[in-house]
Structure 1
Amino acid sequence: MFNRQTMGVLSVIFAWVLTTGYAQEVAMTSDLELSNEIPTTDKVKIGKLDNGLTYYIRQNSRPENRVELRLAVNAGSILENDKQLGLAHFLEHMAFNGTENFEKNELVSILQSAGVRFGAHLNAYTSFDETVYMLRLPTVDTTLEKGLQILEDWAGGLSLDGEEIDKERGVVIEEWRIGQGAQQRMRDEYFPKLLYGSRYAERLPIGTKEVLENFDYATLESFYQDWYRPDLMSVIVVGDIDPQQMEQEITERFGDLENPAQARERQLYDIPYHNDTKVSVVTDPEATFNQIILFYKDKEMPEEQETIRDFRESSVHSLFTGMLNERLAELTREADPPFMNASAYHGTVLRTKEAYQLFAIVPENGIERGMKTLLEQNEKVRQYGFTQTELDRYKKQILTRYEKAYNEREKTESERYAAEYIRNFLQDEPIPGIEFEYEFMKEYLPGITLEEVNKLAEEWINNENRVAVVMAPEKDGVSVPSEEEVRTILQEMENAEVTAYEDEAVASSLMETMPEAGSITEENVLDKIGTTELTLSNGVKVVLKPTDFKDDEILMTASSPGGHSVYDLEKYYSAVNSDGLVAQSGVKDLSATALDKYLADKNASVSPFIGTLTEGFSGNSTPKDVETLLQLTHLYFTTPRQDQEAFQSFISRNKAIYANLLSDPRYYYQDKLSRILSQDNPRGGGFPTQEDWEKVEFEEAYAAYNDRFADASDFTFFFVGKFDVEEMKPMVAQYLGSLPATNREESWKDLGIRPPSGVVEEKVYKGTDPKSMVNITFTGELDYNREEAFELNALVQALNIKLIEEIREKKSGVYGIGARANPSKYPYEHYSITVSFPCAPENVEDLSEAVFTEIKKMQENGPMEKDLQKVKETQRRDMETNLKENRYWLRTLQQAYFRDQNPEKVLDYEEAIDSLTAEGLKETANKYFNFDSYIKVALFPEEGTSSDDAPSDDAASESTEKKPAGSGQ
């Protein structure tokens, strides 16, 4: 669980709140124990074969009948020579294109037949320093044996067939193409300064297009022979397995692997120290945000976390950055915030360097102010430190999260353990186990004093080994400081005169007076699915499903018909943003900041929402804090806080976020696509403009919010998780039964948003990189029912198998391609089926035709029998795990009630799956793939396109070309 690489996320759990006096006593009496080594949990079996291969084995039954397999290779792009740039990653791709025991793409096909989904359950990644292969398998039949054979082949039996290599070049180049753009161009400029003097700056995992297109087979083979060897490998097995039998399997399968006679040294590459400040200011016409990054790099390489003292020191670091993040979050809530988002973090930049890092996204013409504010916060901490109340509160907050992790220790997912063991192998991250960590916190964290935390500022914040990066859009009228001006800001803010932070008092309760409880007037139990439906005296319905899937989790959602569809266009802009405004404003007399501070030691969260057709809430809590969850819901329902400053902050931040969004071709394309699909309906999608934000009015927004939650009588609440129904009854009667009810009759309105009819093909031009996006959408009306929706989704699953096989693997034309179906009952019964993919501009038409060809094959023949069996097996395996997930049940119950369906039908999935036939899906394909009614929208670059695709001389730089239905190419 202890992860140096992700300290900003995980290490916040290493804190405890006790009095300062007791903390001092612990600090003085525990020195001997602090020198002890961090133990390793005895729940994982760790071993090393004679050839040096390390293995980790753990029995874990969450989820049941599943196993997580990993092959971790301590080798990545950092080890490539100049002729191998990108080949560590290319080799990862080749692992799925033929091995000693699986020809070409047979490996993927066999696993799909066992219900394994490519991308979700079968995947891999390559980074600078490692390559990791991941498999999640059912433990039934011979699937686990096949999985181990695959790992064995990956470790020492890749085919690396020349024909397959050449085919895969196209796929990897398409992945390279996706990464091109403003962020890539700016990164290429600032990386040499950020990683000053380091090999990392020249070894990005994706490599170079030149190498990917031209490397010879032997060059790839040499990387495999040099670095895929047992002393650099680990096999991780976690799941519903027999550890002793698994150890024997690993020994037999991997024990014969041999290291090279003259093995090359696995060198670590440092990021060299520099005694000055490096500054990089980069701009790009397609950049979307103004970004500031400050790196204060540690002088030395990270030390291994070996002793309990090291463990304790990491907690001090977490407290520092955690409390600073709380301060930064407060600043974003100002009426005129200096940044839209900001964060602090201390941890690894790459494996061999740690740094104190500050990051912020700031408004246009706000770079100087944003940077000064970040530096001012540094100075506040350096000169005055944090306060005792901040420290006490943050310890409470972290303890609450940590207790939840401890309480869930018996229901921890196998993939989380697998990830920990990968980090232990690659980065020497300790794995003492949650039980030890929990006891450690209780004993040692009281000794962390305010003085210890505050002194980190002097240690971390200095002008040596520092890098300042500014990224900004290249835009008329926007001021971007020069590198020299950035240096001036850095110098001016050193020892600047600042005032100390003042901490607000924390509220003692959410409710001084409890609401008058309602009563339960009706109760209905559905034994088949274990739910209890209550009707309260004010008309509210409550559906309760207690589960034992998690030991410390309760999920909630609630909805009512109406949404912002009930308002005319004039009030739409205020109504659609009112939920976000209230979420930023708080409840009753508590601001969002004050509310966060009150909830620091509680695991409860509620968010109101107002959608197109419904309004409601989503939330979660632990059993201990479920009453807080209900109190928050009551307050958001009845007393949302009206805060003019929060309103100004909300509008300012959103204006800044959306100011340059459409300069990015991807967002521009998505905006155009939404508007085309809705026929330019002002409420049909697309990103809001600066003028749209001006239409949001303070009083109007709160009036819309209060109107949506003025009547609880048509609300249905759903609770799924660890609770007792009888204990929940009085609480829901108290907090939900007391909600106001006027018994008004209302529903949503059909706004008339419809896609265009007939065949519509349009080309959108934006950007300079040679890359395109294609979206093909088939639409129409349908008679909605559960069975029809199931058939349609099964058809799309079968189609996806063929799209990957034909478009990615055989044609090598895309990195990723996928189809999705959306059958909808409301606001009118209709469907859409969308196929989308990125590709090279010159391949748009060819690949589009290939997609149409696969669809027509489905119409002519239906899916192949082997593909149908893959779909059925995947659905069975998914349902096996879904039915043990709280979130799945929450979503399923909510949708069943929303659509007026019988929720018990979810358990009839075997019958539904068995009913699928190739002939039935063929009929479905002919019914819903209507070649007389589809919309095809393709993105092309403004430059570098063929003459046929280029816009005319007088076309605007941001253009859309419409093609009449039925015309030729």
Structure 2
Amino acid sequence: MTRKKIFNVFLGVFLWCLPLLGIAQTTADKELKTSAQLKNNAKIPVDPDVKVGKLENGLTYYIRNNGKPEDKVELRLVVNAGSILENEKQLGLAHFMEHMNFNGTKNFKKNDLVDYLQTIGVKFGADLNAYTSFDQTVYILPIPSDDPEKLEKGFQIIEDWAHNAELTEEGIDDERGVVLEEYRIGKGADERMLKQYLPIIAYNSKYSERLPIGTKEVLENFKYEDVRSFYKDWYRPDLMAVVAVGDLDVATLEKKIKDHFGGIKMPKNPPKREVFDTPNHEETLIAVASDKEASNSIVRIMYKDKELSTPMSNENDYRNQLIKSIFSQMMNNRLDELRNTPNPPFVFAFSSHSGTFARNRKAYQSFAMTPETGQLNALKVILQENKRVQEYGFKQGELERAKKDIVARWEKQFKDRDKRESGRIVGEYINNFLVQEPIPGIEWEYKYTMEQLPTITLKEANSLIKNFIHDDNRAVVMTGPEKEGLKKVTKEEILSLLEEVKNAPIEDYKDKKVRENLLEKVPTPGKIVSSDYNKELDATTLTLNNGAKIIYKKTDFKNDEILFSAFSYGGSSLFSTEDYLQIAHGLGSIAQTGLGGLSLNDMNKVMAGKIARVRPYISSLSEGFNGSTTPKDLETLFQQVHLYFTDVNKDEKAFRSDQAKTKGFLANYLSNPQNYFREEFGKFQFGKNPRYIGFPTAEKLDATNYDLAYQKYKERFAGAGGFNFYFVGNIDEEKLKSYAEKYIGSLPDTGKEETYKTSDFRPLSGAHEKTIYKGTDPKSMVNIIWRGETPYNKSESLSIAALGEILSIKLIEKLREEEGGVYGVGARGNMYKIGPSGGYSGYRFSISFPCGPENVKKLTDAAIAEVKKVIKDGPTAKDLAKIKESRLLDYKESSKQNSFWLSNLQNADYNKIPFESKESYTEAVEKLTIKDIQDVAKKYVDAGYILGVLMPEKK
């Protein structure tokens, strides 16, 4: 479990719990408006680059010409209707209706829509998609803009979604199974606990009764007319917007919208589109929910605003929002400092004044992921920090650092304003339609922000909390595991804690000053001894005096982005098994102790206003770095790299603090049946490896030999010789050369010619089965894996990857559309020249899907039957053509991204294979034949497979 995965899991929980439903003004804003400084009440303008219009039937549209990516337009159909508008017979049908729009319309019969889009390179799920929430339904369609016929078809599709859904009885019944499988996937601890606390955070409101997925009873038994009625009532022009952003002129897009949507009739006497609220309440509402399968401990406290919010409309509103952004930045900086202390009170914490389920109600909210026994303590710490700000306010140094960070983020956005992808722009217009979020454009926002930030005072920021914090409209939610020996927090304990913190004295925050620079002493520069320019790749390789190589490619894909990575062969393969087993679970924490005598908290202060991220790693076969920065902060990135080589702090307390956060997150990770299945199935395949370390339990983390881990880290980063450093982006070549000499060339060369050690261990292959029982819900998971050792072959590598994509299409058609037995299914194949852990070449092919326990055998057999069809007959010419089109479109778009070049430049060197040019890749894809696919299927996927199945526990 990597640190990135830990953060992403928490972020998913946080974002799911905190719908950001728009920017609005509330009581706190009105207080701020009384400031004498605020005299300008001018309206926030609309970005001149977007054309906003409304058809006679009431449909709104947003159009913008945007050339990145080229030859592509992003289309959205936005419906201002979601599950909140369902009646009791329609629970779940707003979401069901979303599904039905992919299952047959006037111009695209059942399955024709997805089939057609695949032929033009648009992938179902990855590109073509939709989502339904409480208050809205949004359909997503990227379409090529350089072909008039494809463009016309694209607009015909979104028009059909708006008013031409067929909703046949057969189609509705066929889709019940798919939606019920999606409902099944959502079952589990989180869903069970949500049912306990949703009535608290959505107190006395319709939101507590209208989860978009609906109920099993309704989904199984609703009448055909129930979904047809929802479509008729709420899919209408006055509740719809069309957004079109992409590489096409505005006039053409506007004509398409008028031609396709102008003729839709507004129904007579339509039902009123009500707006729903969450009412005020005087008492503190508390929910404490636990579950035996809960994998995380979460604390949430919210103070709902007493008054309803209204959309931002003028410059004063915007300035008030800036003040709240500064407030949140300062508060979260304090919480981040606390998480980096010994015995941290939480794994992660975050506070903001932001949206609730209801569009017109905002709240000051704090979230924390905590150790399983630390929920009350985490709540106490959050309450204390709020009280500390209430009594003493923030400090001037905190304000200045927060402003620096905000300026840096805005400068980056502003510099890249002409390089934004269309898919990143459409969201602004969706929010403008749904919640009247302003759309003044980056130029206006940047200019106004830069003008106003210097005028914002500490007093203004400190004044916010008096309206944020109050005893009424307050709710506390705690969710976590339920197990023997773990005492459950009570409502009485929470209420007592609230009073205790309220009445207890508290000390002021001390803002410790730190030095301004990361490096205290500038190193003596080395020298570039050679420079080699590769014309085909437009990349340069610099060799330094110590043997390090700097490979860089200057691009114009982004104006304010430089991506970075580095590697050297060796990694943990060079550690003895005895040493490795003592330190494996601690290698990721070595670099979390700070640099050059600066703690993590000190570093965060030094880095205020700078955008430079560097993360070192030691993997099985290599060590290196990943990172990113801006042209302005490139030197800071080089300085960090230099310090990671020369001056990582030796601080066991900081090391144990980082491991404490890991323990807090992972304590109940395996309580989740899916997590348990992945761990146990992995053990089944890899457990006989003498270097297998398994899951990082608290006992294993505590047993980590810190001194040895630090020693081994220093060994792997003892010198720069043998390292390749990669930089891709808007590079000033002379500055990069200067920094390379100063910060990389100054590093020692160990003089060792090192590579990795190839392992003798080989993971499980051939025919094996493993059934793992975990969980109480009727949910299963099926994993089918073929793997083996084989020499790397470039053409076969492409063929086996294409086989995976083709089988994904066939499995969706068979298991989802025909059988109605899965919500999602996929296949994936790859070959590797240097395996991720053993250093040998091989292949892996897999199929995976969740389903009902009763369908495991039937669907597994059906999946294998699809494999056998390809082995016997090869893929169809049509399916192969779909994959070719999709791959060439993906390459066209991804090759205009810095990440593409960074990964491919490094991978070519790492695997010692030629870099594949656009011409060679295009030629290889175009030459791909049915026989090529059939041959790799016969060679690699016809032998026995490893079958792993998750089944619920036997009762």
Shift of 1:483: 1.1
1:179 aligns with 2:186: yes
Shift of 1:55: 0.3
1:919 aligns with 2:931: yes
- 2:943 corresponds to: 931
Find the aligned partners of 2:733 and 2:919 in 1 and give their Cα distance. 22
CA gap 1:545/1:237 in 2 versus in 1, 3 angstroms: same
Is the 1:296–1:357 contact (alpha carbons within 8 Å) kept by the matching residues of 2?
Answer: yes
1:859 aligns with 2:871: yes
1:487-498 maps to which residues of 2 (within 5 A)? Answer: 487-498=495-506
SS across alignment from 1:647: helix
Find the aligned partners of 1:582 and 1:9 in 2 and give their Cα distance. 36
Shift of 1:180: 0.5
Deviations 1:180-222 (A, max 9, x none): 0001101101111121100000000000011111111111000
- 1:124 corresponds to: 130
Is the 1:767–1:943 contact (alpha carbons within 8 Å) kept by the matching residues of 2?
Answer: no
Find the aligned partners of 1:90 and 1:339 in 2 and give their Cα distance. 39
Find the aligned partners of 2:585 and 2:615 in 1 and give their Cα distance. 13
1:770 aligns with 2:804: no
- 2:393 corresponds to: 385
Stretch deviating more after TM superposition (856-865 or 576-585): 576-585
CA gap 1:201/1:778 in 2 versus in 1, 3 angstroms: same
RMSD between aligned residues = 2.0
CA gap 1:930/1:686 in 2 versus in 1, 3 angstroms: farther
Is the 1:564–1:575 contact (alpha carbons within 8 Å) kept by the matching residues of 2?
Answer: no
SS across alignment from 2:311: coil
- 1:532 corresponds to: 540
SS across alignment from 1:895: helix
SS across alignment from 2:90: coil
CA gap 1:301/1:682 in 2 versus in 1, 3 angstroms: farther
- 1:752 corresponds to: 760
Return the TM-score normalized by structure 1.
Answer: 0.93
CA gap 1:144/1:686 in 2 versus in 1, 3 angstroms: farther
Is the 2:403–2:453 contact (alpha carbons within 8 Å) kept by the matching residues of 1?
Answer: no
CA gap 1:392/1:717 in 2 versus in 1, 3 angstroms: same
1:401 aligns with 2:412: no
- 2:799 corresponds to: 791
**Residue 112 of structure 2, aligned match among 106, 109, 127:** 106
- 1:414 corresponds to: 422
Shift of 1:936: 0.4
Alignment identity in percent?
47
Find the aligned partners of 1:808 and 1:103 in 2 and give their Cα distance. 17
SS across alignment from 2:519: coil
- 2:894 corresponds to: 882
- 2:291 corresponds to: 284
Shift of 1:47: 0.2
Find the aligned partners of 1:244 and 1:757 in 2 and give their Cα distance. 58
Letter in 1 for 2:323: V
Deviations 1:852-895 (A, max 9, x none): 00000010111111000000000110010111000011000110
Find the aligned partners of 1:576 and 1:394 in 2 and give their Cα distance. 37
Shift of 1:7: 14
Deviations 1:709-766 (A, max 9, x none): 0132110011000013343222212211111111212222233342224311111000
**Residue 652 of structure 2, aligned match among 644, 661, 670:** 644
Is the 2:23–2:311 contact (alpha carbons within 8 Å) kept by the matching residues of 1?
Answer: no
1:428-577 maps to which residues of 2 (within 5 A)? Answer: 428-573=436-581, 575-577=583-585
- 2:814 corresponds to: 806
Is the 2:19–2:356 contact (alpha carbons within 8 Å) kept by the matching residues of 1?
Answer: no
Deviations 1:627-663 (A, max 9, x none): 1111111111111111222112022222222211111
1:338-349 maps to which residues of 2 (within 5 A)? Answer: 338-349=345-356
- 1:165 corresponds to: 172
- 2:155 corresponds to: 148
SS across alignment from 1:46: strand
**Residue 40 of structure 1, aligned match among 35, 46, 61:** 46
1:296 aligns with 2:307: no
Find the aligned partners of 2:135 and 2:372 in 1 and give their Cα distance. 37
**Residue 661 of structure 2, aligned match among 627, 647, 653:** 653
CA gap 1:180/1:685 in 2 versus in 1, 3 angstroms: farther
1:847 aligns with 2:891: no
Shift of 1:303: 1.0
In structure 1, the gaps of 5 or more residues are: 15-25, 945-969
SS across alignment from 2:406: helix
CA gap 1:7/1:310 in 2 versus in 1, 3 angstroms: farther
SS across alignment from 1:83: helix
- 2:75 corresponds to: 69
Deviations 1:332-351 (A, max 9, x none): 11111111111112110122
- 1:871 corresponds to: 883
CA gap 1:752/1:655 in 2 versus in 1, 3 angstroms: farther
SS across alignment from 2:290: strand
- 2:595 corresponds to: 587
Shift of 1:352: 2.8
Shift of 1:63: 0.7
**Residue 702 of structure 1, aligned match among 707, 710, 727:** 710
Deviations 1:496-527 (A, max 9, x none): 21111111213221223221211122221110
**Residue 250 of structure 1, aligned match among 257, 260, 267:** 257
SS across alignment from 2:871: helix
CA gap 1:811/1:7 in 2 versus in 1, 3 angstroms: closer
Stretch deviating more after TM superposition (436-445 or 869-878): 436-445
1:836 aligns with 2:848: yes
Is the 2:583–2:706 contact (alpha carbons within 8 Å) kept by the matching residues of 1?
Answer: no
Find the aligned partners of 2:271 and 2:761 in 1 and give their Cα distance. 63
**Residue 137 of structure 1, aligned match among 118, 124, 143:** 143
1:196 aligns with 2:203: yes
Deviations 1:91-122 (A, max 9, x none): 00011101110010111111111011111111
CA gap 1:46/1:12 in 2 versus in 1, 3 angstroms: closer
Find the aligned partners of 1:678 and 1:377 in 2 and give their Cα distance. 46
Find the aligned partners of 2:589 and 2:155 in 1 and give their Cα distance. 52
Aligned length: 927
Is the 2:80–2:136 contact (alpha carbons within 8 Å) kept by the matching residues of 1?
Answer: yes
Find the aligned partners of 1:13 and 1:649 in 2 and give their Cα distance. 37
Find the aligned partners of 2:527 and 2:20 in 1 and give their Cα distance. 43
Is the 1:295–1:467 contact (alpha carbons within 8 Å) kept by the matching residues of 2?
Answer: yes
- 1:319 corresponds to: 326
**Residue 691 of structure 1, aligned match among 699, 715, 724:** 699
Find the aligned partners of 2:663 and 2:843 in 1 and give their Cα distance. 34
Shift of 1:248: 1.3
Is the 2:570–2:623 contact (alpha carbons within 8 Å) kept by the matching residues of 1?
Answer: yes
Find the aligned partners of 1:685 and 1:767 in 2 and give their Cα distance. 25
- 1:948 corresponds to: none
In structure 2, the gaps of 5 or more residues are: 1-14, 25-32
- 1:735 corresponds to: 743
Stretch deviating more after TM superposition (369-378 or 177-186): 369-378
Shift of 1:29: 7.3
Letter in 2 for 1:402: W
- 1:604 corresponds to: 612
Letter in 1 for 2:238: D
Shift of 1:578: 4.8
SS across alignment from 1:485: helix
Is the 2:595–2:649 contact (alpha carbons within 8 Å) kept by the matching residues of 1?
Answer: yes
Is the 1:563–1:615 contact (alpha carbons within 8 Å) kept by the matching residues of 2?
Answer: yes
- 1:337 corresponds to: 344
- 2:905 corresponds to: 893
Return the TM-score normalized by structure 2.
Answer: 0.95
Shift of 1:322: 1.4
- 2:7 corresponds to: none
Letter in 2 for 1:505: K
Find the aligned partners of 1:450 and 1:380 in 2 and give their Cα distance. 15
Shift of 1:680: 4.1
**Residue 305 of structure 1, aligned match among 312, 332, 357:** 312
